[in-house]
Structure 1
Amino acid sequence: MLTTAEASQSEKLDRRPALFVCLVGGFMTLLDVSIVNVALPSIRSGLNASADDLQWVLSGYALAFGLVLVPAGRLGDAHGRRLMFMVGLASFTLTSALAGVATGALWLIAARFAQGLASGTLSPQVAGLIQQLYRGAARGRAFGLLGAAIGISTAVGPLLGGLLIAAGGTADGWRWVFYVNVPIGLIALPAAWRLLPSQSERDEDEVRDAPKGLDAVGIALLGSAVVLLLVPLVEAQQWSGWFKWLLIPVAFLLFAAFTAWERRQQEPAVNLRLFSRRSFSLGTALALAYFAGFTALFFIFTLYLQNGLGRSALIAGLAITPFAVGSAGAAAVGGRLVERAGRPLVAIGLVAVVVGLGGTLIAARAVAGPDVGWATAAPLLLAGIGSGLVIAPNQTITLSEVPVREASTAAGVLQTSQRIGSAIGVAAVGVVFFAALPGGGASAGSSGSGSRQPGTGAAQTWSTAFERGLTVIIVLVGVALLIALADVIAERREHPHRSESDRPNGR
């Protein structure tokens, strides 16, 4: 075991390269949430996949990702974050290769589910390692860089996917969407082994207090609840009928059973006392609401451009690039400011997102046609800047009072809320979006390469659908803003005379 002085010196020498490895891993896993959207027409063409197959290519990954976040975080806290990071990274690299060589839709769906399990294993270790490696203002800067990676991966995915499909061709271009992960993973694996801190390098108190058991019953209850909540949401368009919505109250009953079980455990899967901290409880709720709007934006904008206006995957990706650029730049800045500014910084970012999305709505109404991507560039840039001031600072504040020994588990809970929020947003926005299309959008997922040019009437219909969906997104982001303002007001009431320089841990 390292002494305190040795550990401090090791941290000073190794933490920047270690952070880079963490960011690469986090970027890869979140990229695969967004990059596949623009590849769906190519997958349909190359594998003769049905609309249901394409939906499961997306939802299988999302379900598996959300299922394992908390148990993987707990395993990282208990047995070593480097170990679980490498298990997740190696599995993600292997399953990406398996997805790329798929010869049929069922093979691809199975590979995507396995890829989601790998992503969910790796992802909470990233935040846990940042908590372990950094303290104070340096932690905020590190989370700022992670926020930049999240923003870029989510927004630039369609652009990178479009470039890869353009280079690989319509029939097989989708395979490169998965192959691109393989060389990155092969390079990152040995770097992770050499640069990330091992279990023996953790603080003695942290190792002693870390959870030892897995709490299998608690994990089973939580996992079942998450799956039953996500299934009807991610299958909202493909699973017809009302029966699917009965799964949601069952999910809430399981959440209640999970809570009751956890309260009686000496070593619970999730320490429910985390939610007694306002920074964690409100930050988690804010993340859920914001990701509901944030993720749904790319979903409907990509459909509008490719299926509604007949634009290529590359053009659709380029149209979202302003958001990615703004988010990446502002996230790094936000990480440096959050220690001093606290939650008001997040509120300012959310105001910028609302204003930027409102400008996007106005631009889309004014220029409803092939040039809509140019018209929305400036307001999307503003929304992206605001987003960069939301994701990373909120993560820093939300985890600021979490003990390092529980860092990966808490990160798993936070990221599970983000995944649930994304599913809620896509489902809610999708209902409004597809309801405006003929036949409820039955053909929305069945376009070919995106090269056809729709008639003026059809283009106007898709424009109307996009505007209505975007209105719902603005409302969801507005909910996140109200949560941020509630936290700011509560903090001011509790500490009316506290100056920014006196605010601890980004509060």
Structure 2
Amino acid sequence: MGATQAASRGTARRQEGGPDRRWPALAVCLTASFMTLLDVSIVNVALPSIRTGIHASQSGLQWVLSGYALAFGLVLVPSGRLGDVRGRRTVFLVGLVFFTLASAVAGAAQNEVWLVAARLAQGVAGGILVPQVSGFIQQMFRGAERGRAFGLLGATIGLSTAIGPLLGGLLIQLFGTQEGWRWVFYVNLPIGLVALPLAVRLLPGPAQREEGDRRGPRSDLDPLGVTLLGVGTVLLLLPFVQERQWPGPAKWLLLPAAFAVLGGFVAWERHYGRRHEPLVDLALFRQRSYGLGTLLSLLYFAGFTSIFFVLTLYLQNGMGYSALEAGLSIMPFAVGSGVAAAIGGRVVTRIGRPLPTVGLAMVVVGLLGTTLAVHLDTTRSVGLVTALPLLFAGVGSGLVISPNQTLTLGEVPVERAGSAGGILQTAQRIGSAAGIAAVGAVFFSRAAGPHADWTAGLELGLVTSTGLAALALVVALVDVFTGPPNRPRSG
């Protein structure tokens, strides 16, 4: 039996390009992921430079920041489904070309309308690319190797989110305030140009699918399901991404409209799924690992992403740090997250759900330590005194993101890997948008106006982020103590 299984694994690897090509193919996928996720955070520190360079309005700057996230979240699930149906390699290549071109257009922008349109195009391209990555990992790897691959993806997510402010600050320092913002987008061009031919050569094509994917190509893309999900996602995200630009409570009326549309989407998927392959297989959420893992991811990203938002604002506007200094101050989190994610991916198949639970506990403790450090030191040395607790929180974060992704997708059939990954990442985007809106509202309640108290605003913001991470910890504890051991399948 062992020899038969080994032969089966060897055959599967040859079909996927051989063991010597799978890891280089993964490197290409991670490079593209890094590029798209970097553009979520790198623009934060470039906003003052953009305002100076093209005289952008406050509303225009908000759309430069939030339009990317909105477009990104809108297309994740449909593009993941498209990759499952038409072939991930083709969809990946289209997204990579589109993202590289949109980055060039954004860097060349002469006014805010031009730049906002380019950012929306970047967001669409990023949303096309990212679900294919988790699909390729499901397709090319099994067992412990799959955990290692997701570990590297988790390291990429953590590093890209945290290193964005540092890289943005460095580019603006090198190229100046007036034009430095353009290089925040131009930096994607050499990456895309190098990744494209490597992707053509290394990524497995439609004929190289995993043995378990026996259904063959499907032509049904569920157009009504795509429309309902898209409208529902926009209605859900819009009041969060525009929270500061649309004053008053009327914007929150979009939320019940969003829930109504998404309820219609669920009803349609149930009806459609009786005879066709739906956009989202709702049976996925009956799998304990997938349902709880997606909820955990939504809550954690609400707390995780908002940390960098309030810290960057506090350091630059409250403490007078340069963009580069602010980026360097956040680096301990990035370093801890990157190292721990790679390690977590290697051991998650042995430890299971307790691993992200421990990681979440470390994040909560680290953020509370960061809050205490800010309370005790209100001088410009605050970037130094927060380094150790941020490093600790970063290590915890690295033990959350990639292990949770491995466990959440571990029991998903390969033929649904793209759409399932798209749903998980949509939950992350919704969590990020909602978290930034909630934590930002708390932060600006004390850090805005004629009597602004930046330190008090940051403390309240960090406590709110900690609370969101604590809610994710509760979900993890429920999973650990009320369910069976939950580990990804070895096959």
The TM-score, its normalising length taken from structure 1, stands at 0.92
1:474 and 2:459 matched:
no
Per the alignment, residue 50 of structure 1 pairs with 57
- 1:119-268 equivalences in 2 (<5 Å): 119-203=126-210, 205-208=212-215, 211-265=218-272, 266-268=276-278
> Could you tell me which amino acid in structure 2 is paired with residue 327 of structure 1?
S
Partner secondary structure for residue 129 of structure 2: helix
Partners of 1:113 and 1:12 lie apart in 2 by 37
The 3 A distance-change label for structure 1 pair 241 and 338 is same
Distance 2:488 2:117 in 1: 46
1:387 paired with 2:379, answer no
1:165 partner letter: I
CA distance in 2, matches of 1:211, 1:301: 46
Q: Secondary structure at the match of 2:215?
A: helix
**Residues 86-101 of structure 1 mapped to structure 2, 5 A cutoff:** 86-101=93-108
- Structure 1 distance, partners of 2:214, 2:331, is 43
Q: How far does residue 368 in structure 1 lie from its aligned partner after superposition?
A: 1.2
Matches of residues 345-424 of structure 1 in structure 2 within 5 Å? 345-424=355-434
> Which amino acid in structure 2 is aligned with residue 466 of structure 1?
L
Aligned to 1:8: 13
Secondary structure of 1:270's match? coil
2:47 and 2:356 mapped to 1: Cα distance?
34
Give 2:347's match in structure 1, choosing from 331, 337, 340. Answer: 337
- CA offset at residue 6 of structure 1? 4.5
Cα distance change, pair 200–244 in 1 and its aligned pair in 2 (3 A) = same
Alignment deviations for residues 397-444 of structure 1 (CA, whole Å, 9 cap, x no partner): 0000000000010000000000000011001101111111343x9xxx
Q: Secondary structure at the match of 1:505?
A: coil
Structure 2 counterpart of 1:311, from 313, 321, 326: 321
Q: Hey, what's the Cα distance between the residues in 1 that align with 2:350 and 2:217?
A: 30
Q: CA deviation at 1:207?
A: 4.9
User: Mind listing any 5+ residue stretches in structure 2 that lack a counterpart?
Assistant: 1-7
Check if 1:68 corresponds to 2:60: no
1:31 aligned to 10, 22, 38, which one?
A: 38
Partners of 2:446 and 2:403 in 1: how far apart? 36
Out of 483, 487, 490, the residue aligned to residue 475 of structure 2 is 483
CA change 1:411–1:233 in 2 (3 A) is same
Q: Which whole-Å deviations, capped at 9, do the CAs of 1:344-363 have from their partners, x for residues lacking one?
A: 00000000000100100000
Equivalent pair of 2:12/2:211 in contact (CA under 8 Å): no
Cα distance between partner residues in 2 of 1:258 and 1:13: 43
Q: Distance in 1 between matches of 2:76 and 2:68?
A: 13
1:112 match: 119
Q: Give, in angstroms, the shift of residue 243 of structure 1.
A: 1.2
Q: Is the 2:13–2:140 contact (alpha carbons within 8 Å) kept by the matching residues of 1?
A: no
- Number of aligned residue pairs: give it: 478
| Distance in 2 separating the partners of 1:210 and 1:393 | 31
The 3-state SS of whatever aligns with 1:169 is helix
Work out the CA distance in 2 between the residues paired with 1:314 and 1:384: 20
* Counterparts of 1:438 and 1:204, CA distance in 2: 58
Could you say if the C-alpha distance between residues 367 and 194 of structure 1 is closer, same or farther in structure 2, counting changes exceeding 3 Å? same
TM-superposed CA distance for 1:204, in Å, is 5.5
- d(CA) in 2 for partners of 1:207 and 1:194? 24
Shift of 1:203: 3.3
CA distance in 2, matches of 1:98, 1:126: 25
Structure 2 match to 1:102:
109
In the alignment, is the contact (CA less than 8 A) between 1:77 and 1:407 conserved in 2? yes
* Structure 1 residues 232 and 366, CA gap change in structure 2 (3 angstroms): same
Matched, 1:505 2:453: no
C-alpha change, 1:504 and 1:308, in structure 2 (3 Å) is: closer
Q: Tell me if structure 2 keeps the 8 A contact 1:328–1:388.
A: yes
> What is the one-letter code of the residue matched to 2:322?
S
Distance 1:154 1:203 in 2: 31
Quick one: distance in 1 between partners of 2:105 and 2:11?
A: 42
Amino acid at match of 1:8: R
SS in 1 for 2:178: coil
Q: Secondary structure at the match of 2:233?
A: helix
Contact 1:210 1:405 in 2 (8 A): no
Q: Which amino acid aligns with 2:29?
A: C
Q: CA offsets per residue over residues 369-407 of structure 1, 9 Å max, x none?
A: 211110100000000000000000000000000000000
- The alignment's TM-score, normalised by the length of structure 2, stands at 0.95
Among all aligned residue pairs of Structure 1 and Structure 2, give the percentage whose two residues are the same amino acid: 60
Q: In structure 1, which of residues 294, 306, 315 is the aligned counterpart of residue 304 of structure 2?
A: 294
Q: Which 10-residue stretch deviates more, 223-232 or 203-212?
A: 203-212
State the AA in 1 paired with 2:106: A
Aligned to 1:435: 445
Shift of 1:212: 2.9
1:453-468 alignment runs, 5 A limit: 461-468=453-460
Q: Once the 2 structures are TM-superposed, how far is the Cα of residue 209 of structure 1 from its aligned partner?
A: 5.2
**8 Å CA contact retained: 1:63, 1:230:** yes
Counterpart of 1:450?
A: none
Q: Distance in 1 between matches of 2:210 and 2:329?
A: 46
RMSD, matched Cα: 1.5
Distance in 2 (CA, whole Å) between partners of 1:393 and 1:178 is 31
Note the C-alpha offset of 1:12. Answer: 1.5
CA, structure 1 residues 504+6, in 2 after alignment: closer, same or farther (shift >3 Å)? closer
Per the alignment, residue 326 of structure 1 pairs with 336
* Post-superposition offset of 1:268: 0.6
Q: Distance in 1 between the 2:250 and 2:435 partners?
A: 20
Q: C-alpha displacement at 1:504, in angstroms?
A: 5.4
